[in-house]
Structure 1
């Protein structure tokens, strides 16, 4: 309990500092930065699984509250950005893995797994089955997510007029009884999806139940700020806890590769978003959040903060996970063979 309280306290301080300084998306970026720093300085950080899961459900509910009939009409334009996202993922994966091998000296499997633009749990599970530097893969991927979390809001603030202060409450907050019922139903559905090994099961369940309730006109309004802000603070804190137990020396080893991959991803994402925006007239903010290869839950939280189309964001990040699930194993073929025991075969 003390460890959790300390971690959440650091996250809250980070959010307050970022908000006071006017940093974009302060309730997410502030905790992520300060908790990461504290973890690297030796502070043991932790967010309980139960609190994390409730946070995921609430983010999903917040996304579902933004799905409207107009969103569904706009879905006719979505095949264009899906094609662009496929090409973007190929550029990041092959460009990043080539550079990590040629410039940074990583072996083939380590380079390709570290350069994979997202799907961290899947990447780490593959790392255990092949000959790869697992600590480097984990830290490069974690640093990439952290840097993207910090930089994507800043880039969006520079190229659009989106309000990233998260200070404006929804016109009509959801009634608490309706919100409580949606959360309970979402948790039940999420636990079922987890049994089927669906990625981001609780977040998707929250979005599905909330979308159904809002789309049918049964529940109006958005997430109340007094619930949304702590949820984002916990999400940012959770990102920072990835560095608990990681040594500074390992971070220094992985830093250059992480920065390179992040810059590559940001430039490629921005170029792809600008091209699709020109071709389809879809909002640039929506495209940036949908294309940025950060964690699904993190990008979902940012989509709520920036008022991006939640269904558009969710579809593209789910597609990214499916695309990588198919792509990566094809180019990581060298699995470790078990040695035969003497006297057998």
Structure 2
């Protein structure tokens, strides 16, 4: 690593840490992701050269995959038996929201098909960034549009439920953490699977390796617990900083267009998700506030915490969001591969 590259990495680490601390201090949602993304983005727009080493990026993607897989618990199987119609509608809505939003971005905002598809994913920000990291898609536009969706839903859902008199104060209890020796074994298996998936040319191979190596023993009940927060919080800072580095050299007009595109698509997909939640609520008798949080295409951690705060069924909400993320983990690589094959066949 040259001195210039080392300086870029140090600057990125500094601005990422400042952004995380500032976002945490003001109580912003997902502070360790959004704060670094915002501050590093502004530093890049100011003309500073910033970078995140590829090996550090890849290590973080592995850990994100492990964290995702840790959410696939035996409760998911029980939930699928209790709410089959609701689970089916989650899968339907993921596909519908993805392609409706992609159509809007492609035809109204003239984004290329690959960028429109990645920017339209109803969730999975870290996964989408990993998918787009090595592609020719417009990563800054994807990051802006996805960030607008996450931020808007985080800020909008509580006031909506409060206006409908469906909010109730609560608290978040402690969460079981994975023991370090167990995590080390899962990490080794994740890297091995990730390298195998890389050899098979899977998109986001390292993240998928972490997901598979973690999900299988978790869903079987062989192991339990999440990745410790003291590990995942720095991971989110790195990923947020990675998002921010993608804005270097981006014009203000391009940012404005992407922000407007993100706002419009977020409104559209939120209305559609709310309509689906109302349908599911009326069919299976689940309270509308629980269904709305379960179907809102926001961040898993944020929506799960919101379920606790609003005193709704956390198993119902959490299982739906985990299913959405698992489905997206396979749907997005398939959709991207299909798009690439269609492009090659036309060329």
- Tell me the CA shift for residue 268 of structure 1: 3.8
- Tell me the CA shift for residue 50 of structure 1: 1.1
Q: Quick one: which of 182, 198, 202 aligns to 1:198?
A: 202
Asked whether the 8 Å contact 1:147–1:262 carries over to 2, the reply is yes
Distance 1:279 1:97, change over 3 A: farther
Asked whether the 8 Å contact 2:74–2:218 carries over to 1, the reply is no
Asked whether the 8 Å contact 1:286–1:313 carries over to 2, the reply is no
Q: Quick one: which of 315, 326, 334 aligns to 1:315?
A: 326
Distance 2:77 2:66 in 1: 18
Q: Quick one: which of 186, 193, 196 aligns to 1:189?
A: 193
Q: Quick one: which of 287, 299, 305 aligns to 2:295?
A: 287
Tell me the number of residue pairs that the alignment of Structure 1 and Structure 2 aligns.
310
Distance 1:331 1:125, change over 3 A: farther
Match of 1:241 in 2: 245
- CA displacement, residues 25-56 of structure 1 (integer Å, 9 cap, x when unaligned): 21122112221222112122211111111111
Asked whether the 8 Å contact 2:72–2:219 carries over to 1, the reply is yes
SS at match of 1:182: helix
Q: Quick one: which of 214, 220, 223 aligns to 1:219?
A: 223
Distance 2:257 2:245 in 1: 19
Distance 1:4 1:218 in 2: 39
SS at match of 1:223: coil
Match of 1:151 in 2: 152
Match of 1:90 in 2: 99
Distance 1:301 1:177 in 2: 25
- CA displacement, residues 197-224 of structure 1 (integer Å, 9 cap, x when unaligned): 2222222221222223334444333222
Deviates further, 45-54 or 150-159: 150-159
Note if 1:16 corresponds to 2:27: no
Distance 1:220 1:330 in 2: 39
Distance 2:227 2:21 in 1: 20
Asked whether the 8 Å contact 2:12–2:50 carries over to 1, the reply is yes
Asked whether the 8 Å contact 1:25–1:302 carries over to 2, the reply is yes
Asked whether the 8 Å contact 2:37–2:242 carries over to 1, the reply is yes
Distance 1:75 1:17 in 2: 40
Distance 1:142 1:217, change over 3 A: closer
Distance 2:235 2:129 in 1: 22
Note if 1:175 corresponds to 2:179: yes
- Tell me the CA shift for residue 277 of structure 1: 5.3
Q: Quick one: which of 324, 327, 334 aligns to 2:335?
A: 324
Distance 1:221 1:125, change over 3 A: closer
Scaled by the length of structure 2, the TM-score of the pair is 0.73
Scaled by the length of structure 1, the TM-score of the pair is 0.73
Distance 2:12 2:327 in 1: 32
What runs of 5+ residues in structure 2 fail to find an aligned partner? 1-5, 122-127, 162-166, 307-313
After superposition, the CA RMSD in angstroms is: 3.7
Distance 1:111 1:188, change over 3 A: closer
Distance 1:253 1:261, change over 3 A: same
Asked whether the 8 Å contact 1:24–1:157 carries over to 2, the reply is no
Distance 2:238 2:40 in 1: 11
What runs of 5+ residues in structure 1 fail to find an aligned partner? 101-105, 129-133, 293-298, 337-345
- Tell me the CA shift for residue 329 of structure 1: 6.7
Match of 2:309 in 1: none
Distance 1:44 1:68, change over 3 A: same
Match of 1:131 in 2: none
Distance 1:184 1:140, change over 3 A: same
- CA displacement, residues 159-209 of structure 1 (integer Å, 9 cap, x when unaligned): 56799x9x9652x32221111111111011111112212222222221222
Q: Quick one: which of 33, 40, 50 aligns to 2:38?
A: 33
